[in-house]
Structure 1
C-alpha cells in the first residue's frame, strides 16, 4: 500500500479536513473555548523550522480530549491576547490559576486574559535558574584552572622540563575535576555514586564557593518539597534569599533580581503546589507526534490531526 497516497486520500476525501471550521485561520491560530478550566497552563513550543507557537492547555484533560485550549503562532503578547480574548470575559473569569514559566511575556498574557486568576511560576524553572548560576561559577573556575595549567606548561617549556600535570587523589587534573563536576552539582547527594562522592569531596575542599552554592541549591529544593503554608514559605525563602546575597558572583545577582521581580508568583506555588510540568509534558507529546510524521510540512493539517487527539 502506498502510504503517501493513503495519507493524501485521508486528507482530501476520507477526513472532514476541508470542512474544518478552523481551517481558514489554522496557520495563525486555533481556539477551543469549551476546553477552558479552572487551571490553565501556558507555554511555548517549536512546531516547524524554528517557528514558535504559544500553547494554552487545560491540565484536567490529561493530554487527551479537552486538553488543548489554543495554539497561536508566535509569542507576541498582543497577538496572543487578541486571540484568547475571543473567549468571553465571564468564561475567562472562571480561571482561578495560571501556571507558567518565568517569561515576562507569558505573565503579561495571563494577567490580561485571566483577570481573576493568580499566577504560579513553575518551581523547576526557578531551581534551574539557580543551578545555571552554579554552573557559571563552575565554568569560571574551570577557565582559571585552564589558565593556571597553561602557565605551568609555559614555565616547564622555558626551563626545558617535562610537564607533569597536577592530579588530585582520584586521578583528576584540575580541569578534569571541574569538567566532571557538572552533573554532580545538579544531583542530590543521595544519588551520587562512590566515585562521585569522592569527586564532590575534593571539589568542595578546593572550591568552598561551590560547596556553599550547592548547599543553597539543596536548601531551595527542601523548601519546595516541604508541605508548608504560604506564610512559612515566605519566611524560609526570605532567609534563603539573604544567604544567596552573600554570593559575590554576577549570575547569583540575576537569581536575586528574578526573585525580587516575581516574588509573589514564585510564592504562589505553595498555595496548591501546582507546577507547569503538564505544559512541558504536552510539549513532549507534540514533539513526539511531530517526529512520528517526520516533521510538519502542512501546519493546518497537522493541527487538524492534533485537534482530533487533544481538543
Structure 2
C-alpha cells in the first residue's frame, strides 16, 4: 500500500509539473539536465563509473525483490509505453490476453517487449518466434515461474500456442507468417481430444485455447475466401480485356473454375493459366488461394512442399 501511494504521488507531481511548466522553461530545464549529465560523465573515472553501475544494479535488484505483487501490477499498468506487462493469473485470463496481443498486431505495433513475471513463459515466446512481423523482440527472463507454469511450458505451450496465434493473425492481418505449423482439421481435432494424464488446470487451459482458436479463426474465414475468389476473377477479366485490346490470343486465357466443395484442388489448379500463355508448374495438392497469395496474382508460380 505504501508503494502504491508513493507511485500515485509521483505521477501527480509529474502531471502538475507538465501542466504548469511553459515551453521555454521546459527547454531550459532539459538543456541544464543534459549539460549536468555530460559534465558528470566527463569528470567520472572508469572505476567510479563501474562502481556507480554496480550500485544501480544492486539497487534495482533490491527494489524488485521487495516489490509486492500488487505494486508490480500497478507499475506495469501505469507504464504501458515501456512494454506489454501481462501477469498470468488464471486460464480464462490467459485467453483474454491472447486477444489483446491479436488486437495490438492488427493495429500495426512493430515492437513487443516482455516484462519479468509476464506471459512470456507460456505464449509470447512461441508467438514471437513464429511470426515474421516483429521488428524487435525483447525478452527478460523471469525467476518467478510456478511449477504449473513449468509443466505447461514442457507439455503444451510450443505445440499449441503457435497454431493458435499464427492462423488467427494470417486471417486478421493478411501478413504471411514464418511458420509451418498449420495442420488439417482432423489432426487438430485429434490433438484437442488428447487429454493424457495432465492436471485439471491443463485441461481447462486446453479447452479455453480451443474455443478461442475456433472463434478467432472462423470469424473472417468465409468472408475472406469469398473476397479472394472475387478478386481473382476480377483480375482475370481485366487482363483478358487488355489482351484483347492488344490483339493477343484469347484462347490462351481462361478463368479459373469457381470453387466447389466436391471438386479436388488438382482440377482447379489445371485451370490456372497465366496471361502470358505459360502454364504454371505442378504444385501438387496445394490449396489454390494460398499459392496465389504467396506467389502474387499471376506473376510467378512455384512448387510448394509440405502444404496441406
By relative contact order (CA 8 Å, sep 6+), the higher-ranking structure is 1
TM-score under structure 1 normalisation? 0.31
Q: Which has the higher strand share?
A: 1
